[in-house]
Structure 1
Amino acid sequence: MSRRLPSTPPNLPGFAFVSVLGSGGFADVYLYEQNMPRRLVAVKVLLAEVVTDDLRQMFQAEANLMAQLSSHPSILTVYQASVAADGRPYLVMEYCSASLGQRYRAVQLPLAEVLSVGVRIASAVETAHRQGVLHRDIKPSNILTTAYGHPVLSDFGIAATLGEAESSDAVGLSIPWSAPEVLHDEVSGTVASEVWSLGATVYSLLAGRSPFEVPGGDNGSGALMARIDRAKLAPTGRTDVPKSLEQVLARSMSRRPSDRQANALEFIRDLQSVEEELGLTQTPIEVAVDDWALATAVDVEERTRVSGVHGTGDAGRRRRRPRTAPRSAALPGADSRADDLGMSGSRTSRPGSRRLAWGVSLVSVALVVLVGVGAYAVIQGARSIPVVTDVQGTATDGGVTFSWNDPGLQTADAYVVTVDDEMLPPQREASITVTAGDGDRVCASVAVTRDGRSGASSAERCVDVSVAVDQGS
């Protein structure tokens, strides 16, 4: 199919046309210079010949969705949307000079960069999901790079709300990164299919090709769809990619949606676990806190941490190499606003200061009440989380295996195991094996985490490897 020529750029008040950036099936993207404030921007313009009421509504939905989500650091920022004098709707967006779609086939991307990009883009997807929005076209070419090298997710053009996705008509899709159930028109998009696309995208960035593409083979639509349907994923072919990461990607692209990570957040935690395994600084999770009062009552760092900073432990326990734990970003909107609020510098007393003091006092009381309500919600939520009560420990050749019975996990729940005061990454398996040497005393406890909160920990179980005697503490 021949590529069409871009349409004539529209005359937009306050903007000066610079060049053409690209063309798609329904729109062209141009580089403009905005007069005030002066900056380069990308302007996406709907084609005049395809403008219909339905397409106009889709375009407006994209503008609204991206504006709703673009405060996220890994989602492309939208500045404004309007209709040009010639009747074509347009969208003014942050200008990004490159996309990963241009890089990953040309050069081998560093493993650390790919893991970081994966965490950041999955954070953007998780944020969208929490607001009821599916992207439905996650792929390398839709990951742009800002002037400061930060990856951002773009093009929500075929996005749909989670509820609409189950019943919406067929939409455009990108076969190499689409889940089998989407290719079979069983669904137009779900959280599970987005997890597949996230895994396929990370795989592509590592391998330099899409997951089921055969170098030098038949990579037409039919052949690709047949391979995707079988879901027999080949390794990335890179010697620096650990087996654990290959397993994370294989799980995300399982044929059965229920076998994949339950959501984008679980996929993020799996990538962070690989970063920790490789000794890399963990990329922080960028997911907005749902309720500020709840965030005040619960340490935000604990909500986003995969591996906690552990203490020195008892003298009789093993000494483990400290692992890097991510420092959580500040709460959204928690950056300093002193100047904006007129609070910088000293103030003299004014006649209205007493009324102001009363107002501040009332606000303070309200804040205390809200924080108390949040704390109560946390306590009540924690009480509903099941508790592990039967941790058993057995010394094995070169290690210790701890196991327990399922206390009633729900789909998105996970176990958080603490071994010798070190919190390990969340897991779904009801057992874990840790390395230990002769003379070591290894202690572990288990808690269940649900919706970012952890329940009560089990009683600590300790195993003395030297005599292989199990004793509860």
Structure 2
Amino acid sequence: MSREAPGTPPEIPGLVYRQPLGSGGYADVFLYEQQQPRMPVAVKVLKREGLTPAILRQFVEEANTMAQLADHPYIVQVFRSEQLADGGAYLVMKYYPPPNLATRAKRERLGVEEVLRTGIQLASAVETAHRAGIVHRDIKPANVLVSQYGAPGLTDFGIAGRAVGQEEHDEDVGVSVPWSPPEVLYGQSNGDARSDVYSLAATLWHLLVGRSPFEQPGGDNSAYALMPRIRATPVPQTGRADVPLSLERLLGHAMAKKPDARPQTAIDLARGLQAIEQEQRFARTPIVVLDESGHTTVADSRPTRAAAEQPDPERTSVRAPKVASAQPYTPAPSSRPATDATVDDGPQPATISGGALFAGVGVLVLVLVGALVWALGLRDGDGSTEASTPAPSASVPSGVGGPVVDIPDPPAIDGRPVAGGVAFTWQYAGVRKGDFYRMRIATSEAEVANAEVTTVRTLPHTVTARAGDQVCAQVAVARTAGATSAYSRIKCVTGG
């Protein structure tokens, strides 16, 4: 909420006004004390100035939406909502003391462990909303409150709506630009599960850095300046030495420009965050979701090795009492490997026996042989280079209960003029056999983000162009299992 002066708090039976909490575009929020039982509550009150039937209807829908999801531990609970005699309305909610996460992020950089935990908890709330057919549409740090026990509470479902089909995107929806995905900002979508995934990832990036991903310190950060950056500029790194590469990759993946290139559900994102917790040896945060019977599941369950080996025909559904658990994680090269999905949360003392020493020598030999095979097989028969062998890479699951999918690193693209066009090439860590590439090519940098995607399987890739004409391109690495890297930076070259 902003700092503009709030209006007059209404008289509400059973509640005693205490103080203002904040004010926004169409509503004020006040602290009241409920008398029976005695406890503080937050009351959101519609402003009378500029009140329209559409705003009132939206306010009622917000109350109904939050009430429908009120049992979730990470969604702010609504107690009641009523209309006033003068045509206004108010909403009585659970009180969360300040500061919200936006204010905290201004004051301090949150630790990686806390951001991972918060991300999993919020993804639990978002997944539950999605399973109820509700898209939030306005996930951002200011809409995440924090209870006195440190638990986040997602609030402000004011522009939330039912998931709609592509043909129904004619409804005008307000957005918070810095955390919104390109398809929403440019009117290609009113928002869906994947746009909420983007906004949640942008929120976590903000918590790590203290600003939204595409803000430029000291630069023009108006909505009109931010929108082209959000559409075309690759997601920047956080710049923090303590943020693992796997988290940088996951946030970049979740903020991909194209919705199809992101984790497709909030629970996919949550599982990726859980895998990073496991990699970093942090305490495991459970994913709490709404089950098929409409109850929130809170019991933690860790699959045993035997259970993990048995196929589960209903793996994609979450049944009470159950909490989704982390999938096996393939760590980045700098990470300490975990043996399986049920590895203990804390580090274990290292013990080396004679047998282990010989086993280690055997593993080293296998690694050297594998490296030789990779070197010999990197070039195919026609002389063009194609991606070839496995390498360690950060990974997140591709779907609920599905296999772990490696997310490739964003490639570094380069280009040079050649006769009749421009030849582009690129490099990236962890090339794998079967990798292919998605290129976007245009005549200017601003047009690349909206260019048609071309599938490329070998490199260098030559784009036909007349001498003196500019060719701009960016490329992403794609894998047959479905994972796609974030796009590279845009490279512009003048044709030869």
Same fold (TM over 0.5): yes
Indicate the residue corresponding to 2:143 in structure 1.
142
Question: 1:131–1:428: structure 2 CA closer, same or farther, 3 Å change rule?
Answer: farther
Indicate the residue corresponding to 1:406 in structure 2.
none
8 Å Cα contact 1:414/1:428 also seen in 2: no
8 Å Cα contact 2:159/2:173 also seen in 1: yes
SS at match of 1:283: coil
Q: Percent identity?
A: 43
Indicate the residue corresponding to 2:308 in structure 1.
none
Question: 1:319–1:249: structure 2 CA closer, same or farther, 3 Å change rule?
Answer: closer
Give CA deviations for 1:262-310 in whole Å, capped at 9, x if unaligned.
Answer: 1111100111111011001121001122148989x9886876122479x
SS at match of 1:18: strand
C-alpha RMSD over aligned residues: 3.3
8 Å Cα contact 1:281/1:324 also seen in 2: no
Q: Structure 2 stretches of 5 or more lacking a match?
A: 296-313, 330-337, 347-364, 375-388, 391-396, 409-429, 431-480, 482-496
Distance across 1 between alignment mates of 2:177 and 2:318: 42
Q: CA deviation at 1:129?
A: 0.4
SS at match of 1:21: strand
Q: CA deviation at 1:193?
A: 1.0
Question: 1:77–1:413: structure 2 CA closer, same or farther, 3 Å change rule?
Answer: closer
Q: Aligned pair 1:324/2:344, yes or no? A: yes
Indicate the residue corresponding to 1:9 in structure 2.
9
Distance across 2 between alignment mates of 1:15 and 1:164: 42
Distance across 1 between alignment mates of 2:54 and 2:339: 64
Q: Structure 1 stretches of 5 or more lacking a match?
A: 310-317, 327-393, 404-409, 417-425, 434-447, 449-473
- The residue type paired with residue 368 of structure 2 is D
Distance across 2 between alignment mates of 1:299 and 1:65: 23
Question: 1:183–1:429: structure 2 CA closer, same or farther, 3 Å change rule?
Answer: closer
Distance across 2 between alignment mates of 1:40 and 1:300: 32
Question: 1:219–1:85: structure 2 CA closer, same or farther, 3 Å change rule?
Answer: same
Match of 2:368 among 397, 409, 416: 397
Question: 1:58–1:184: structure 2 CA closer, same or farther, 3 Å change rule?
Answer: same
8 Å Cα contact 1:12/1:84 also seen in 2: no
Q: CA deviation at 1:158?
A: 0.5
Question: 1:278–1:288: structure 2 CA closer, same or farther, 3 Å change rule?
Answer: same
Question: 1:56–1:325: structure 2 CA closer, same or farther, 3 Å change rule?
Answer: same
Distance across 2 between alignment mates of 1:231 and 1:288: 36
- The residue type paired with residue 232 of structure 1 is P
Indicate the residue corresponding to 1:223 in structure 2.
225
Question: 1:325–1:67: structure 2 CA closer, same or farther, 3 Å change rule?
Answer: farther
SS at match of 2:93: strand
Question: 1:307–1:270: structure 2 CA closer, same or farther, 3 Å change rule?
Answer: closer
Q: CA deviation at 1:42?
A: 0.3
SS at match of 1:49: coil
Distance across 1 between alignment mates of 2:272 and 2:340: 22
SS at match of 1:186: coil
Distance across 2 between alignment mates of 1:75 and 1:115: 18
Q: Aligned pair 1:304/2:318, yes or no? A: no
Distance across 2 between alignment mates of 1:40 and 1:78: 13
Q: CA deviation at 1:69?
A: 0.4
8 Å Cα contact 1:11/1:85 also seen in 2: no
8 Å Cα contact 2:106/2:210 also seen in 1: yes
Q: CA deviation at 1:242?
A: 0.5
Indicate the residue corresponding to 2:114 in structure 1.
113
The 5-angstrom pairing of residues 23-62 of structure 1 reads 23-62=23-62
Distance across 2 between alignment mates of 1:302 and 1:95: 29
Q: CA deviation at 1:84?
A: 2.6
- The residue type paired with residue 120 of structure 1 is Q
Indicate the residue corresponding to 1:192 in structure 2.
194
SS at match of 1:163: coil
Q: CA deviation at 1:238?
A: 0.7
Question: 1:325–1:262: structure 2 CA closer, same or farther, 3 Å change rule?
Answer: farther
Q: CA deviation at 1:111?
A: 1.0
8 Å Cα contact 1:279/1:323 also seen in 2: no
Q: Aligned pair 1:161/2:139, yes or no? A: no
Distance across 2 between alignment mates of 1:90 and 1:101: 24
Give CA deviations for 1:30-64 in whole Å, capped at 9, x if unaligned.
Answer: 00011111110000011112332222111110000
Distance across 2 between alignment mates of 1:46 and 1:399: 66
Q: Aligned pair 1:245/2:260, yes or no? A: no
SS at match of 2:102: helix
- The residue type paired with residue 97 of structure 2 is S
8 Å Cα contact 1:74/1:121 also seen in 2: yes
8 Å Cα contact 1:31/1:40 also seen in 2: yes
SS at match of 1:276: helix
Distance across 1 between alignment mates of 2:288 and 2:222: 37
Match of 1:270 among 269, 272, 278: 272
- The residue type paired with residue 153 of structure 1 is L
Distance across 2 between alignment mates of 1:398 and 1:273: 29
The 5-angstrom pairing of residues 273-422 of structure 1 reads 273-291=275-293, 304-307=324-327, 323-324=343-344, 395-397=366-368, 412=399, 415-416=402-403
8 Å Cα contact 1:415/1:428 also seen in 2: no
Under a length normalisation based on structure 1, what TM-score does the superposition of the two structures give?
0.66
Question: 1:3–1:202: structure 2 CA closer, same or farther, 3 Å change rule?
Answer: closer
Q: CA deviation at 1:237?
A: 1.0
SS at match of 1:13: coil
Question: 1:399–1:272: structure 2 CA closer, same or farther, 3 Å change rule?
Answer: farther
8 Å Cα contact 1:79/1:94 also seen in 2: yes
SS at match of 2:149: coil
8 Å Cα contact 1:306/1:325 also seen in 2: no
Distance across 1 between alignment mates of 2:345 and 2:318: 18
Distance across 1 between alignment mates of 2:37 and 2:221: 46
Indicate the residue corresponding to 1:313 in structure 2.
none
- The residue type paired with residue 14 of structure 2 is G
Question: 1:179–1:320: structure 2 CA closer, same or farther, 3 Å change rule?
Answer: closer
Distance across 1 between alignment mates of 2:256 and 2:4: 37
8 Å Cα contact 1:112/1:280 also seen in 2: yes
Q: CA deviation at 1:188?
A: 1.4
**Number of residue pairs matched by the alignment:** 340
8 Å Cα contact 1:245/1:271 also seen in 2: yes
Distance across 2 between alignment mates of 1:398 and 1:265: 39
Q: CA deviation at 1:85?
A: 3.7
SS at match of 2:49: helix
Question: 1:320–1:27: structure 2 CA closer, same or farther, 3 Å change rule?
Answer: closer
| Structure 1 stretches of at least 4 aligned residues deviating more than 4 Å after TM superposition | 291-295, 297-303, 318-322, 398-403
Question: 1:97–1:321: structure 2 CA closer, same or farther, 3 Å change rule?
Answer: closer
SS at match of 1:104: helix
Give CA deviations for 1:224-247 in whole Å, capped at 9, x if unaligned.
Answer: 111101141111011100101000
Match of 1:183 among 181, 185, 192: 185
